[in-house]
Amino acid sequence: MESIRAIVALSALGQETRLEIFRLLVRNTPEGLPAGEIARRLEVPQNTMSSHLGLLTRAGLLTSERFSRSIVYKVDLDAFRELMLFMVKDCCNGNATLCAPLIAELTPCCQPQEVIQ
């Protein structure tokens, strides 16, 4: 990831409502949510919500898909992963013992489900 793309994405997340939108959509991955439902849950006027969703989409953090009259927004997981990797790529100058607490914090939420055979 280029620094400028990271700056654009982080700038988009650097506003309280947009950060709340992003976190709400992360919790609702992979299904996503319609724009109206996001606005309702966060108690944000729909026209304001539209602006925030547009900015997050232009920053490359969200994707959208139209279903009839609704637009469903989802987190672009590839872009999210790329941003997170960009942020921790040089973590602790390669010293694994310093990075261990960070990895330990992330691991419990991201364990793959066991395959049932």
The pLDDT tens digits for 23-66 are 999 999 999 999 999 999 999 999 999 999 999 999 999 999 99
Cα gap 49→34, rounded to integer Å? 11
Q: For a pLDDT cut of 70, what percent of the chain falls above it?
A: 91
First to last CA, the chain: 38
Using the predicted structure, report yes or no on whether residue 114 has a pLDDT greater than 70. Answer: no
Which domains, from first to last, does the chain contain?
Answer: 3-78 (1.10.10.10)
pTM: 0.84
**Counting beta carbons within 10 angstroms of the beta carbon of residue 62, is it exposed (0 to 12), middle (13 to 18) or buried (19 or more)?**
buried
Q: 92: which 2 tokens?
A: 């602790």
